[in-house]
Structure 1
Amino acid sequence: MIPTQHALGSSATDALAKALGRPVSDQEVLTTDDAIVAHWQHLGFYADKDRSWTSVDWARHVGDPDRLHPFAADPTGDDRVILHVSVRLNPKDRKLTHAEWSEIGHRLARVTGIAPPGNIDSCRWIAVRGQDHRLDLLANLIREDGVRATPPPQVLRKVVAECRRIETDLCLLPPGDHGAGVKRNMVLVERDTGEPDPKVATHWTDEAIRYFDAGRRLVEEAAHQLHISPSAGPELAHQLEWLARRSHTLEGDLAALVPGRPHATSGPTRPLAPVAPPAGPAARSGWRR
């Protein structure tokens, strides 16, 4: 199960269209027995008896709170109040029942903070099954009492952790089995602009540095073993030492890409004597500082 946090939006219509994979329509009926697998607890006060609304009606219902409470925006004046989180299953997963999809929707609503247990003024939200192997959670952060809800800190990590628990409880395949090389702790984030998300940039920078560091340590150890081996030539050890030093420099360059991140990286595990770039293949490839 792979979660995606979509960018906060100001239009419930756009969010629902993205969840359905097609534009909303006043001719398409979505019911709570089919596409709408879960919803907020007070829907019965607004919906008709069978709760059969068009997709336009559902979008209007989710979007109403910020129209009813136009001054509930945050202090910066940000009017993006539509939260959109989706989860995608492995195509090889078994077919889930309506009740199982409903459970996933309710659990995601709780962990994102839009439906705290026992809170009668929770956000309006719906969980939509509009595309195969996928569930979309849409919510308006403006609560019924006019207060803007704030998702908990590190909400993405909480969603990922909840997905791992859901996989265990419902016997679903973990991300590592999706065939796309997705790691268990991967967090996918969509943004409306081309600006990088600092948190995501820091996460991937840390991951890259970790792998660089592990590789450098192996190279350093190989160079050390070649130095102490009587049968090994010094030229290869010399090249490995130079590569280890270059790798350490790249770690620092990666850290410097993220504003506010400490640039220090772990130093060499073994003291290495100053070396000049070798005249071997690594130098001829154009790999320079």
Structure 2
Amino acid sequence: MIGKALSGWRPAGLIAYLMGPGAHEEHRNPHIVASWDGSPGLHQPPKAGPGEFDFDLRALIGSMSELPKEFGLPLDNPAASPDDLPGAEEWTQWLRTSGKKRPPAHAPEWVKYYRWDPKAEAVVLKPGYVWHCPVRLHPDDPTLTDAQWQRIAQRLMEATGIHQSGCRWVAVRHADDHIHLMATLVTDKGGSLRRFYPRNDWYRLRKACRELERELGLVPTPEADWTATRRPTRQEIGKAARHGRAEPARTELRRLVAQAAAAAGGPEDFFARLREFQVVWRPSYAADGEIRGCSYVLADDRTAEGEQVPFSGGKLGRDLTWPKLMQRWASTPAAEPVERTEDGRSTADARLDVLEEAAEVVNEAAERIRSGDEDPAGITHATADVLGALALGTEYRDRGPITAAFDRFDRAARIPGRVLPRDHGLSGRALRRASRRIAAAGSISGRGQEKFALAALVLALAGLVAEIRAWQQHAGRPHQAAAARRTAAVLPVDRVAANNAAARSATRSPRLADRLDRTTARPARPARRHHPGARPPR
């Protein structure tokens, strides 16, 4: 169960949407299931015609707007920008320098509805008094009754403190799997009108939702781990559809930056990869001249005014900020160069060696997770680099099955509370080195002997992902485990070709065997296997 709190300024507009057919005519049988006074039936709008959505909304709008109107708040949306309002130039400057001061008595009425946003470097509209929270079930949850939804709505409104404050609120149901909570945050409790500001409502909603999931036997949602990548906004998704893009620019850009980071050994390699991907980067510098951050732009992603749309590394992924990238590159020694022909391409034998070496490293990493010889967190994070580099070599910017596996593994690699592992570990560093060598090998054709070596590597990756899934499940992280399962499901495993590769791997050259021994060597110590009742390796 997921709830997301929003805010606005127009009670009538929100009520009309909730009781209407919806943006895509997806609403069915809209009705009120809960209210602030415990009598939702009294607030159900009467029918005004034969249609499913022909309601007389005047009484409901009047009840929800009564206190805000008495308090002097606008019942319609204020202008998004005050540029055309009286005294805009003078009072915009005042908002910029006043901090959190209250406007003086002689200030225009509109001033109290705006604030200065230092990030946007502009005057923006404050959050409105119309509080709105959709609450949605997981697709695998059963259909709940109106009485159950009433109980859920009451608990959530009490958790936020809105119910106790005396604010008016209702819960509207117009689908089987979700309701909408709506409140106007003005109260007359205590004998005088005042605004009410919920504190930490997002956190309190999340906590109450998890409690209700346990009580009602619903599918549990994961705890907030502060490592998730930001999803594309509704506007970004709509823009991609209008321009015929296969996916939003944010999603494509995150993948390209992550793949460039996995393939690079430092800033110079990283920027060279971005240039190859036609990604524009904009570094920012500290006082000492060192890079302190970087934003990225797809060359063909522009606004309606023709301006480029930049995304900082942190907005693409928590592990893609500049300090995290530098930390990642510093944790792994430089990879050995790949043998090349006179025209600069990698040789066929070199590509075979790289693929076979990577398969051995991946198999070794899976064994170290099974035996408990190494913290799986470092291996898990480095596995994403191998998937990203392999997708780059086999599919480049086409969205094939390995690219799909790379995208799905993002969730599986998350460790709550940690963006990067505390210790990358021996196998983790070996996996990162392997990812750089795969990227250095260039395009992998998947023909001839390469087909068999590639199949062996994909099979090894499927085995490693299975071990990661078991570890995440045992550590009490079912959602990461489910993401690992989805990753393994899309990997193009060819067991016949992988078996054919085993014979060649057994007779590989002494040079390759020596490099593998140095890459994956581990200290001699007895294996520490853990059983289902034991604490997972840390």
Distance 2:180 2:231 in 1: 14
The 5-angstrom pairing of residues 100-119 of structure 1 reads 100-116=148-164, 119=165
Which deviations, in whole Å up to 9, do the C-alpha atoms of 1:39-71 show, x marking residues without a partner?
A: 113x87xx9x95443334323322332221126
The count of residues paired between Structure 1 and Structure 2 equals 222
**Any stretches of 5+ residues in structure 1 without a counterpart?**
24-29, 176-182, 224-232, 248-262
Which deviations, in whole Å up to 9, do the C-alpha atoms of 1:119-156 show, x marking residues without a partner?
A: 5xx11111111222111100011222321111112x21
Query: 1:65 aligned to 2:103?
Result: no
Kept after mapping to 1: 8 A contact 2:3/2:209: yes
Structure 2 CA distance for partners of 1:134 and 1:203, relative to 1, 3 Å: farther
Which deviations, in whole Å up to 9, do the C-alpha atoms of 1:254-274 show, x marking residues without a partner?
A: xxxxxxxxx9996755698xx
- Which residue type is aligned with residue 171 of structure 2? A
Aligned to 2:132: 84
Give secondary structure in 1 for the equivalent of 2:62. helix
Which deviations, in whole Å up to 9, do the C-alpha atoms of 1:193-239 show, x marking residues without a partner?
A: 87x9xxxx979844888xx99xx7xx97xx9xxxxxxxxx99948xx
Of 172, 175, 185 in structure 1, the residue corresponding to residue 223 of structure 2 is: 185
Aligned to 1:146: 193
- Which residue type is aligned with residue 438 of structure 2? P
Which deviations, in whole Å up to 9, do the C-alpha atoms of 1:73-92 show, x marking residues without a partner?
A: 66847361111011112344
Structure 2 CA distance for partners of 1:65 and 1:205, relative to 1, 3 Å: farther
Residue 18 of structure 1 and its aligned partner are, at CA, apart by 3.9
Aligned to 2:170: 126
The 5-angstrom pairing of residues 197-236 of structure 1 reads 205-206=317-318, 236=357
Distance 1:206 1:14 in 2: 36
Aligned to 2:4: 4
Distance 2:138 2:219 in 1: 8
- Which residue type is aligned with residue 185 of structure 1? E
Aligned to 1:160: 206
Residue 16 of structure 1 and its aligned partner are, at CA, apart by 2.5
- Which residue type is aligned with residue 9 of structure 1? G
The 5-angstrom pairing of residues 91-102 of structure 1 reads 91-102=139-150
Kept after mapping to 2: 8 A contact 1:174/1:184: no
Aligned to 2:82: none
Kept after mapping to 1: 8 A contact 2:314/2:320: no
**Any stretches of 5+ residues in structure 2 without a counterpart?**
23-28, 46-55, 75-111, 116-124, 237-249, 251-312, 336-352, 362-380, 386-418, 444-538
Distance 2:169 2:231 in 1: 20
The 5-angstrom pairing of residues 9-48 of structure 1 reads 9-20=8-19, 22=21, 35-41=31-37
Distance 1:109 1:83 in 2: 11
Q: TM-score, structure 1 length as denominator?
A: 0.56
* Structure possessing the higher relative contact order (Cα contacts under 8 Å, 6 or more residues apart): 1
Structure 2 CA distance for partners of 1:85 and 1:208, relative to 1, 3 Å: farther
Give secondary structure in 2 for the equivalent of 1:136. strand
Which deviations, in whole Å up to 9, do the C-alpha atoms of 1:14-51 show, x marking residues without a partner?
A: 3224434536xxxxxx9xxx82111113x87xx9x954
Give secondary structure in 1 for the equivalent of 2:195. coil
Kept after mapping to 2: 8 A contact 1:74/1:148: no
- Which residue type is aligned with residue 3 of structure 2? P
What is the alpha-carbon root mean square deviation over aligned residues?
5.2
- Which residue type is aligned with residue 154 of structure 2? H
Q: TM-score, structure 2 length as denominator?
A: 0.33
Aligned to 1:169: 215
Structure 2 CA distance for partners of 1:149 and 1:136, relative to 1, 3 Å: same
Distance 1:86 1:59 in 2: 19
Structure 2 CA distance for partners of 1:190 and 1:13, relative to 1, 3 Å: farther
Residue 94 of structure 1 and its aligned partner are, at CA, apart by 3.0
Give secondary structure in 2 for the equivalent of 1:126. strand
- Which residue type is aligned with residue 148 of structure 1? R
The 5-angstrom pairing of residues 252-271 of structure 1 reads 269=425
Identity %: 23
Kept after mapping to 2: 8 A contact 1:277/1:283: no
Larger % of helix: which?
2
